[in-house]
Chains A and B, each alone.
Chain A
């Protein structure tokens, strides 16, 4: 993880539009930029600016209309549906605004879930999941179902799930959007820690300035275009 020459993520002239009824709305128009390995990037912008769409494209859960997205040297726009799913399971960790934990599974099982797609044995899966939960400080909450956890604990479980497969990049969509201020701070501390200690590349969409503050780099989107105001807030 020590400074490869190629960028972690590179977008080349990416466009994306949606049809809503009869109308076609251009969400992204020819967006190009690079994210270096180990970067902690915050994407900001008003609602409808296309920041979530951009995140979805980078995470491989949505498809571009044109352009290319290279993640770790792979152009994910050329992958088939199945290849893309496999790629996601190994390379991307997801952190959602509403945590998106499976309510019928307990914390440990939720974290273990992505490992079902790996060749690991049952025992190894359990060990990895326990380690990830311990890392986010929830070693004592493993048997609890999401409904029995606080919002902050749920988001920490979700972060454990995101890192358990040891992906290169983490994508976070409004990770603190549903949390009170102190829980939000804990979560941001955790993410910053993961970025620093494990060198994870993080792309975070947020409209919370406090969250954006913790990123190294903030980029803003306006009507599907990146503005030039790249703010390096972090020292």
Chain B
């Protein structure tokens, strides 16, 4: 079947200014579209990676986030002695009790206060989270007022850098180490000795118990049944990765809905732009259309040529918008997660799915904008068209 791809392409190249404006409008829309999806994806992947497969987190029944949870001192040993929990070389269970609180800390340079997660850790905490690596300084001595700061906290908050001091709970705390937890939520936390934190914050109960299961993910179901059926425990458990992934749901949904509804409205403007351009392309080339038809090109070839031109325009817009959006991967956003009420740093993440969706979106805008003008082009009567030359 005859096609006129190079004809469509040449026409776009010839009318550079118009092509630039039209594709530019669509590129902006695709940029916003891709950026919103990348942000939601960045948030999601950060929180999904926070959890370690094979770990289970034990919280109070009904708790949706760590700060709502309470695990009594009496309950913690009952959890730790469950047989499903893996053992260390010395025979001790691979489980740890932790305290999680929120604290308002001033940011560097502006003085605005944001909530940071403080995590009181136990001796096994680092072993259970192999993704957390010490990047600078050293580990705190157990039982001291020394603390570790996550990389992005150290960078963004006053007094959280290596060797600096923060005052809370009527004491001074010294940052002796900076840890890097990769692209996870832990990077936005401060870690210190659990018992020290409990006395500083006058807490008599833990927040959670984290355990490494003997049979990995397979061991989770018996562990959950064991915890939930124990009448002495008002506790529940989730795989750690599932728990953190759920922390991103509301915010990611918000970002996605906002991004998509915004771009839906914007795209109307861009599609109208494409329609104007394509109408003018058809009007300006009526004579050519007549000629092509006289030469024997059927209506559908004309229809296809103009749709192809609009699609190329959309593709160009999509590619430019996507290229600009992919540059966002260099940036990190830090904002409050509505669900945990604490600050979280995360990046823009581009996935093949987002690339595909963005290009489809660009092509879709081109198609919608070009369809009606293309149908008009194909419907022109040859004799009338030739008369306009």
Contacts and interface: CB of A to CB of B under 8 A. Distances in A.
Indicate whether A and B are direct neighbours in the complex (CB within 8 Å).
yes
Interface string B280-306: 000000011011111111110000000
A125 to B, nearest CB: 11
B376 interface: no
A62 B383 contact: yes
Contacts of B11: 104
Contacts of B295: 88-89, 94, 113-114, 117, 161
Contacts of A96: 291, 386, 389
Nearest to A94: B294
B265 interface: no
A98 B389 contact: yes
Contact of A102 (B3, B13, B291, B296): B291
Nearest to A52: B383
Contacts of B10: 104-105
Interface residues of A, number: 28
Nearest to A53: B383
Interface string A107-134: 0010001101100000000000000000
Contacts of B6: 105, 109
A61 B293 contact: yes
Contacts of B328: none
Contacts of B389: 96-98, 100
3 tightest A-B CB contacts, nearest first: A89-B296, A104-B10, A116-B2
B7 A86 contact: no
A161 B288 CA distance: 14
A100 B386 contact: yes
A59 B13 CA distance: 33
Nearest to A89: B296
A85 B296 CA distance: 4
B382 interface: yes
Contacts of B4: 116
B199 interface: no
Interface in B4-34: 4, 6-7, 10-11, 13-14
B7 A61 contact: no
B299 A86 contact: no
18 contacts: A59-B294, A61-B386, A82-B298, A85-B297, A88-B296, A89-B297, A90-B296, A92-B296, A94-B291, A94-B295, A96-B291, A97-B389, A98-B287, A100-B294, A102-B288, A109-B6, A116-B3, A117-B2
Interface in B283-335: 287-288, 290-299
Contacts of B293: 61, 85
Interface residues of B, number: 25
A162 B129 CA distance: 77
B296 to A, nearest CB: 3
A173 to B, nearest CB: 8
Given A61-B386, A62-B382, A116-B2, A105 B7 contact: yes
Contact of A114 (B288, B296, B383): B296
A100 B14 CA distance: 17
Given A85-B297, A104-B10, A113-B295, 18 more contacts: A61-B294, A61-B386, A62-B382, A81-B298, A85-B299, A87-B296, A88-B294, A89-B295, A89-B296, A92-B296, A94-B295, A98-B287, A100-B386, A102-B292, A104-B7, A105-B7, A109-B6, A116-B4
Contacts of A87: 296
Contacts of B386: 61, 96, 100
Interface in A52-107: 56, 59, 61-62, 81-82, 85-90, 92, 94, 96-98, 100, 102-105
Contacts of B299: 81, 85
A111 to B, nearest CB: 11
Contacts of A94: 291, 294-295
B383 A56 contact: yes
Contacts of A59: 294
A103 B284 CA distance: 12
A167 B87 CA distance: 89
A100 B383 contact: no
Interface in A1-22: none
Contacts of B13: 104
Nearest to A162: B295
B260 to A, nearest CB: 37
Q: Which of A61, A89, A161 has most chain B Cβ within 10 Å?
A: A61
Contacts of B298: 81-82, 85-86
Q: Which of B294, B299, B382, B389 has most chain A Cβ within 10 Å?
A: B294
A69 to B, nearest CB: 15
Given A85-B296, A105-B7, A61 B291 contact: no
B118 to A, nearest CB: 66
